[in-house]
Structure 1
């Protein structure tokens, strides 16, 4: 049986493409979550600076008409009917949070491309990525209220980080589906792109990040994460060491030499 989630490598391997591929609904079940754990482990390995031919950006996309209809509710049914339901649920949430956290902690840019309906677990994974691109007709929802649940893969807190607590509560309390344009206004979606040619446009966006200054991108991720979690002054405290370390990178040295010798925008980065 084909894995519901797999990684392919685009062109020269600089871009790792995670593909959710279990149409028509791309539902998440235990096997799907296990596959995501394996994918997350592989991404940690292939984006490590010491990995030969490392991947320098990650793109998540889905096959089929929709991105995902969410979680197979039979999974929750089995947990709810068990005598140790609370313990089993807690163990599941720990597993799933580690997937999102692994994506967030990757030292390279991560992009989620949503071409259609994106519900629950898929939306929460998207919120764990650096950039969320959406097609014009895409829509999103954390609809866990229909089974008496709150989103438990990190969605509430990551929505609050992007859109603020009031919008996060509204989106989750209502359980409604929200258009890409609405979530772009709320700073949840980074960019809305045309439906026509969306998949290739998203790939091209991710490719541009993959050939950029990888070490500088990693420094940016670290500073932004520090500011969000610990405050701006904590990021200020970290900045001198984080930014200074870039002067030991081949990318900065070569880019500075290229700027001085050839003018801006002509440097080629190798991710070193």
Structure 2
């Protein structure tokens, strides 16, 4: 007999609204006891990301149930792959999870309450803001199977912490606590109740000027791909378009009429 728990998907996408009516989405990893990234988890996350791309919320939270965020990838995924199949695996994970998640037109928050290894850590590094609990630990430990992290972890870690730190973390395969990665700039903040803090931040961001948040992401993305000069070159068009949004028009009028901090936003 199969239990009802075994019938549940290993990752689920839930949608709701803030008190102000802004649409929010929460993607939860829930495949006890270890939340391993096997084929079923990858498929569930891929489907959720496709849903988010088709219908973006105004903010997204990624989180996990259980004692750990994830103990890593189910090594069965790698067993017997040819060189071509290995390359195709990474291409698929980039194009269907990492890159679409990274380019969602809304803020994306990741909450890590416990152990966060390999694929889950690489997904976190593709998010805009990473929050952690004081007991969270992070690692890219692919060296245990003779592999290097290949879902964008090394390069995104290098962007946040520097290339020397990225090489250290990947080559040693050691675990690093939340306080250390906060000092390195990888984790944005550490909270005793990280789930509550992450939900509060996600709601706050969802209630904000969504089009402006998307513009921020696009300008930063331009810097990542081409440096300051390239980011400067795209900023006038990207930021200029905001003057056609209801949110900017309303916020400017609100500022002039009643002062700062009183505007409300619709995401339009």
CA-CA distance at 1:13 after TM superposition: 5.7
2:163 to 162, 165, 170: 165
SS at match of 2:71: coil
SS at match of 1:77: coil
**Deviation beyond 4 Å, 4+ runs, structure 1:** none
Name the structure 2 match of 1:205: 201
TM-score if structure 1 supplies the norm length? Answer: 0.93
In structure 1, stretches of 5+ residues that fail to align are 48-54, 80-84
Partner of 1:90: 87
Deviations 1:98-125 (A, max 9, x none): 2111111111000000010000000000
Distance in 1 between the 2:166 and 2:228 partners? Answer: 22
Unaligned segments of structure 2, at least 5 residues: 1-6
User: Are positions 1:26 and 2:35 aligned together?
Assistant: yes
In the other structure, the counterpart of 1:124 is: 122
User: What is the rounded CA distance, in whole Å, between the counterparts of 1:23 and 1:262 in structure 2?
Assistant: 51
Q: Is residue 2:5 matched to residue 1:3?
A: no
RMSD between aligned residues: 1.0
Alignment of 1:173-188 (within 5 A): 173-188=171-186
Cα deviation per residue 1:199-250 (whole Å; 9 max; x = unaligned)? 1111001110111000100110011111121010111111111111100000
Distance of 2:197 and 2:181 partners within structure 1: 19
In 1, the alpha carbon distance for the partners of 2:161 and 2:196 equals: 28
- The aligned runs of 1:92-241 (5 Å cut-off) are 92-98=89-95, 99-194=97-192, 197-241=193-237
> Does the CA-based 8 Å contact 2:22-2:266 persist in structure 1?
no
1:10 positional shift: 2.9
Following TM superposition, by how much is the alpha carbon of 1:134 offset from its aligned partner in structure 2, in angstroms? Answer: 0.5
Matching residue of 1:246: 242
